[in-house]
Amino acid sequence: MTDKFLIEGGKKIEGEIEVGGSKNAAGGVLAATLLTNEDCFIDNVPKVADVFTLLDILKGMGVEVEWMGERKVRIRAGKNVDPLKMDFSRVSKARLSVLLFGSLLPRFQSFKIASPGGDRIGLRPITTHLRALEELGAKIERIGDFYNVDIKKLEGKEIVLSEFSVTATENLLMAATLSQGETIIKGAACEPEILNLGEMLKKMGGKIEGLGTHQLKVQGVEKLGGVSVELIPDRLEAGTFLVIGALTPGELKIKSMRSEHLDLFLAKLKEINVNFQKEKDSIRVWFSPNLKPTKVQALPYPGFPTDLLPLVVPLLTQAEGKSLIHDPLYENRLNYTQELKKMGADIEIVDPHRAFVFGKTKLFGVKIESWDIRAGAALLVAGLMAEGRTTIENVEQIDRGYERIDERLQKLGAEIKRVNG
């Protein structure tokens, strides 16, 4: 039996809430600890399901994992690490496990890995990852739901990525750091999470130029050492709290965040007429009853984040007029709009990537299901603002990316309860 959230909507939500460490940044940073056999200390680690799954995968292979405090973990991938002990069932559950390709390659001449799992938001092929790693010298063969990986040596070269893929860039960056010679990565993604990983690799002894741009230059080194690194705040969690603050009565202060990681998202909120004020390392947001319609398209960083597109839809249901949302990347990203329509939202799907949102409409509590992390968060937001009781099923999807979201919201005044079955 899976957990559910029972939410009584329309309650005043106010106070202060702190943003945790970035789940997406944790993926690359934790995977990169396999590149050295020395101690790595990772701080500001979010205690979310996807991170625990990745840590369990590492432990299963023989990696030492020790919690040094509430948010700090020591990881040592010593000589006893064995990819043959990899738990394939866990790999197939977590999308973050795709980053094991780039971190295992420099260390092992051959290994087998299950096809990574993740969200039900459409096809998420890893062709870009595999082609890039094959250009470095890897031989990768897919057999059913598994990949066999063999390699003699990694040799740097110029590689053009076919898409601005965050995890493909991270995989290539990790593998190139321990390759022979120079690797130039063109078409690299430049999200803050990649910068977090790149700075870690440089502290470990890697030679990397161009972080934060679409072209990276990596000079391979023979060995990487231990490191201490802190994960950046989760910009997606911060964006979620901003939307909650705009749609529910009260004033909310979102602390420990970096507003510069959300420039276009904040610009769009301003266009929609959300009431907020930036402060140092925090943002205050107030209930915003007079919202305006807009057009929103998800784009690679520094564009509007695809993972925050579902979060603005509840906002747009409360805007007077017609809005357009467009996610060119994932063909099933809009599935959650069917759940919002059950609540009374007026949404017309134009095609698998675009939908019109008509407002202003009143939302009512009903029984709905979380499809993936961000869709689940969008439904949670809708439940907090809706009239009556909302039941959200399959909330383990939300737990994959949000730490104790129900308990944290309860402290702010939300009437939300977790029940089993």
Q: Is the pLDDT of residue 312 over 50?
A: yes
Provide the pLDDT for residue 17. 98
Provide the pLDDT for residue 125. 67
Provide the pLDDT for residue 115. 85
Higher pLDDT, 95 or 113: 113
Provide the pLDDT for residue 121. 37
* Average pLDDT, integer, range 247-271: 97
For residues 57 and 40, give the distance between their C-alpha atoms in angstroms, rounded to a whole number. 17
- All structural domains of the chain, each given as residue ranges with its CATH number in brackets, are 3-20+233-420 (3.65.10.10), 23-230 (3.65.10.10)
**What are the tens digits of pLDDT across the range 139-192?**
999 998 899 999 989 999 999 999 999 999 999 999 999 999 999 999 999 999
Phi, psi of 110 (to 5 degrees): -155, 145
**What are the tens digits of pLDDT across the range 354-396?**
999 999 999 999 999 998 899 999 999 999 999 999 999 999 9
Percent of the chain scoring above 90 in pLDDT: 89
For residues 293 and 273, give the distance between their C-alpha atoms in angstroms, rounded to a whole number. 9
Average model confidence (pLDDT) for the chain? 94
**What is the pLDDT confidence band of residue 333, given thresholds at 50, 70 and 90?**
confident
Q: Is the pLDDT of residue 323 over 80?
A: yes
Q: Is the pLDDT of residue 118 over 50?
A: no
**What are the tens digits of pLDDT across the range 211-239?**
999 999 999 999 999 999 999 999 999 99
Provide the pLDDT for residue 117. 65
**What are the tens digits of pLDDT across the range 66-100?**
999 999 999 999 999 999 999 999 998 888 899 99
Provide the pLDDT for residue 188. 97
Provide the pLDDT for residue 129. 87
* Average pLDDT, integer, range 244-273: 97
Provide the pLDDT for residue 1. 67
Q: Is the pLDDT of residue 123 over 50?
A: no
Q: Is the pLDDT of residue 120 over 50?
A: no
Percent of the chain scoring above 70 in pLDDT: 97
Provide the pLDDT for residue 116. 83
Q: Is the pLDDT of residue 119 over 60?
A: no
Higher pLDDT, 373 or 119: 373
